[in-house]
Structure formats: structure tokens, C-alpha cells
Amino acid sequence: MRQTVPAAVPGIVFLSGGQTDEQATARLDALNRRGPQPWQLSFSFGRALQGPVLRARAGDAENIGIAQAALLHRAELNSAARGGSYHPEMDSFGLGR
């Protein structure tokens, strides 16, 4: 990409569709571990962020708190992956909580 994408481009966002939540986070982490890039690298995390939330909520209003916690957890993991500091063991929901 360095040969074809100008460094002046502020960021490159890949689609996360077709990947599991964990795959998308791990792959984003791998991209960002390759060292400093001239652009911000991320995924369009619609599916990878919404999937765990929808599964946690399961259409039941009583699960809203659980769904919110799932969203926060996945957002924290993807934030770590954006900085290249994600580790798969962080994916265990509730670990250290």
C-alpha cells in the first residue's frame, strides 16, 4: 500500500464483514503491529461491533445492561487492536471484570 496510497491520506478503513468478531480484532491488531504507518488503519466495525451486542441482547429488554457491557468490551478490544496491543486472551468476556 505504501507504493500506491499517498501518505497524505489520513486513514484506510477495511470492511470487517465475513470475519468473526475475534478475527476482525486480531487482524486489525496484526496490521497495526507492522509498525508505524503514514495513515491510520482500521476496520469499518459495524458488524464486528454489533454482533456481540445483538447476541447478548437476544431481543430481550432485560439484557440491555449485558448488551451495553458487551459493546464496551468489544470497543475496548478494538481500541487495543488499533494501537497494536491486542492479545487474544483479552477476548474472554468478563476476564478481569
Is 94 a domain residue? no
What pTM did the predictor assign? 0.77
User: How many whole angstroms separate alpha carbon 72 and alpha carbon 42?
Assistant: 17
For residue 92, is it within any domain?
A: no
- Whether residue 27 lies inside any domain: the answer is yes
Structural domain of residue 46, as residue ranges?
11-85
| Residue 45, in any domain of the structure | yes
- pLDDT tens, per residue, the chain with 97 residues: 889 999 999 999 988 888 888 898 999 999 999 988 899 998 887 777 888 899 999 999 999 999 999 999 999 998 999 899 999 999 875 543 3
* Number of folded domains that form the chain: 1
In a domain, 2, yes or no: no
| Assigned domain for 54 exists | yes
